[in-house]
Structure 1
Amino acid sequence: MDWKVKVKDVIANKRMKLEGFYEREYMDFHTGTYKVIEGKFYVKISLVYSDGTIIVGGFVKGKVERPCDRCLELSILEINGTIEGIYDLKNEPNFKDSEMENLKNVIYYKGDVIDLEDRIIEALVVSAPDVFLCKEDCKGLCPFCGENLNKNPGHKCPEKERFEEEFVDVRFKKLMKLKDELKNNNNN
């Protein structure tokens, strides 16, 4: 679907609704580039013309394949973004107040066609989380050998013991021994 609308059509109709699929094979986010499940996002947008402005609102939703930030297994991330913007057709930007205007998501516009693809991408990127977990209680990877602790929860790492023997400061070895003794005493 083409996500471009003519300004004169929005003004003439006062209201317009667009609904369809935004098709992408991959999507770039601030955390990486991920494969889009089924190659599309569902989009619904309403445009309303009022007093020299076009108000845009709607949503975009879909799924991407993304690695978990703890265990690195590929998982499905659902994205639900909110599309919003105000296209001001009659005013010029006031740079003195431009910081406040940016917070209102006002776009000063002087063209014949509005490309809504920018609003769709913006909604997707803003709604994508910085940290993604495959499940809330993901155990992650063993920090010594990289074993997936979700698949092997009882993992006893020989690399951890070797690391502690080779790299732990001798001043801490007595504390570690004391910690183990206390742990053993509490288990008895």
Structure 2
Amino acid sequence: MIWKIKVKDIIAKRHMKIEDDYYTETINLHTGTYKVIDNVFHVKISIVYTDNTIIVGGVVKGKIERPCDRCLETSILELEGTIEGIYDLESEPNFKDSEIENLKNVIYYKGEVIDLEERIIEALVVSAPDVFVCDENCKGLCQYCGENLNLHPDHKCEKMEEFSIDPRFEKLLKLKEKLSNN
């Protein structure tokens, strides 16, 4: 498979470039599982070997279908992630000295094959936003009945009347009504 690279090949070539497509129907992100548009992400990776270290860098781009967090309509989200990793082939992790300054993206590695698919997925997960809005002007849903306010901008909800007002806010409501009448 193209995404599994033998360490000995990287050492022999010292520098490699890979530009190819990563195929998958869905992707699991921290906010859910989503359909990948055209089942493909475009990947460009550069791999360099120097001083018992393999440095991996690149980008991954693609689109997924994801529901908007305001109106729940399915929309297209473009993802662009940065692929990065440093495979240290010589050292061992020093857990006694694990301060933030030492938490670089260093992978202490003793295997024979590097699986770049892990770095691709990591880049996509990190690039995905926690909150996705289909449009910055998305009006969302009516908080009382769930009507999509983008489709019905003049929506007046009858159910709003049914909800009783919290007695702690009755005085504020009366003040608001009084101010709006002036």
Task: Classify the TM-score, shorter chain.
Answer: over 0.9
The question of 1:179 aligning with 2:173 is answered no
RMSD (Å), alpha carbons? 1.5
- Give CA-to-partner distance per residue, 1:140-159, whole Å, 9 cap, x none: 00000001111111111111
Cα distance in 1 for residues equivalent to 2:8 and 2:171: 79
**Residue of structure 2 in register with 1:34 after alignment:** 34
Alpha-carbon shift at residue 92 of structure 1 (Å) = 1.3
Change (3 A) 1:31 1:86: same
- Give CA-to-partner distance per residue, 1:42-100, whole Å, 9 cap, x none: 00100000000000000001000000000000000000000000000111111112344
Cα distance in 1 for residues equivalent to 2:171 and 2:96: 64
Identity of matched residues, %: 71
1:96 match: secondary structure? helix
**Residue of structure 1 in register with 2:132 after alignment:** 132
Change (3 A) 1:111 1:162: same
TM-score (norm 2): 0.94
Cα distance in 1 for residues equivalent to 2:107 and 2:101: 9
**Residue of structure 1 in register with 2:165 after alignment:** 168
**Residue of structure 2 in register with 1:44 after alignment:** 44
**Residue of structure 2 in register with 1:110 after alignment:** 110
The question of 1:154 aligning with 2:154 is answered yes
Alpha-carbon shift at residue 101 of structure 1 (Å) = 7.0
Change (3 A) 1:171 1:12: closer
The question of 1:92 aligning with 2:92 is answered yes
Displaced runs of 4 or more, over 6 A: none
Cα distance in 2 for residues equivalent to 1:150 and 1:77: 19
Residue correspondences, number: 182
Change (3 A) 1:184 1:83: same
Supply the AA of the counterpart residue of 1:179: K
Q: Mark the runs of 5 or more structure 1 residues left unpaired by the alignment.
A: none
TM-score (norm 1): 0.91
Change (3 A) 1:29 1:46: same
Supply the AA of the counterpart residue of 1:76: I
**Residue of structure 1 in register with 2:17 after alignment:** 17
Q: Mark the runs of 5 or more structure 2 residues left unpaired by the alignment.
A: none
Supply the AA of the counterpart residue of 2:112: D
2:49 match: secondary structure? strand
**Residue of structure 2 in register with 1:69 after alignment:** 69
**Residue of structure 1 in register with 2:83 after alignment:** 83
Supply the AA of the counterpart residue of 1:5: I
Cα distance in 2 for residues equivalent to 1:46 and 1:25: 25
2:38 match: secondary structure? helix
Cα distance in 2 for residues equivalent to 1:70 and 1:170: 29
